[in-house]
Chain A
């Protein structure tokens, strides 16, 4: 069975650094993009970007570019989300998700979607 298992909840102070992880199993981890999605308290889902574990190709949402860093170690089937200087506004649940695609042969082209999700990692940033 495909599974994405994320690291546990974290409590950090503003200005601190943090790396959270997402370990995949049950599929060829290196060959599927992993997305990171933020959910602030009581709010909706925000796409942060994606990483391709095989070559670490990354795409960041403009909203998160420069504030977070994605990385991956395909030898241990793990993707990472990292901050070097946390802010209180980073307090949220962070989900990783596997991106896959469907090709519509009737002319719709490629459709990308997230078929498996990690359980989420709660990050609390507070002084």
Chain B
């Protein structure tokens, strides 16, 4: 299946640790990448190849993968982390995005 399933919404208290998951068959053989999108802005890459952070992304962001599930964890969520998060993966020819998870930081 080409579908990637994410929880629609999660919330975390300021400073709390929160994880967002992404589930799909393609993740058994392909790493996920993760994108953060704030209102009115373009997506920003926050994690690639399972657990690699691009330059400029805080180290409170981490990634993991096991079987058909990838996860993005924010250790000590900050107010500026409030955003939509999308996972992405691929099969041999096409790319897929998850439906997105809205993170609210309380």
**Is the A/B pair a real complex?**
yes
Interface residues of A (CB under 8 A from B): 35, 37, 44-47, 50, 59, 61-62, 95, 97, 102, 104, 108-109, 111-115, 117-120
CB pair B97 A113 closer than 8 Å: no
| Given A44-B98, A118-B42: 12 more A-B contacts, CB < 8 Å | A37-B97, A45-B86, A45-B88, A47-B97, A50-B95, A61-B94, A61-B95, A97-B43, A113-B33, A113-B88, A115-B48, A117-B43
Residue of A nearest to B43 (CB): A117
Chain B: how many interface residues by the 8 Å CB criterion? 26
> Cβ of B93 and Cβ of A59 under 8 Å apart?
yes
A108 engages B50 (CB within 8 Å): yes
Give min CB distance, B19 to chain A, whole Å. Answer: 19
In the complex with contacts A113-B88, A118-B42, A108-B93 CB distance below 8 A: no
| CB under 8 Å from chain A, chain B span 49-106 | 49-50, 52, 54, 84, 86, 88, 90, 93-100
How many Å from the CB of B95 to the closest CB on chain A?
Answer: 4
Inter-chain CA distance A45–B98, complex, in Å, is 8
Contact of B48 among A44, A97, A113 (CB under 8 A): A113
Q: Is the CB of B49 within 8 A of A104?
A: yes
Q: Is the CB of A111 within 8 A of B42?
A: no
8 contacts between A and B (CB under 8 A): A37-B97, A45-B43, A47-B88, A61-B94, A108-B50, A109-B30, A113-B33, A114-B35
- Given A111-B31, A112-B90, A113-B33, residue A44 in contact with residue B99 (CB < 8 A): yes
Q: How far is the CB of B20 from chain A (nearest CB, A)?
A: 14
Q: Which residues on B sit within 8 Å (CB–CB) of A44?
A: 84, 86, 97-100
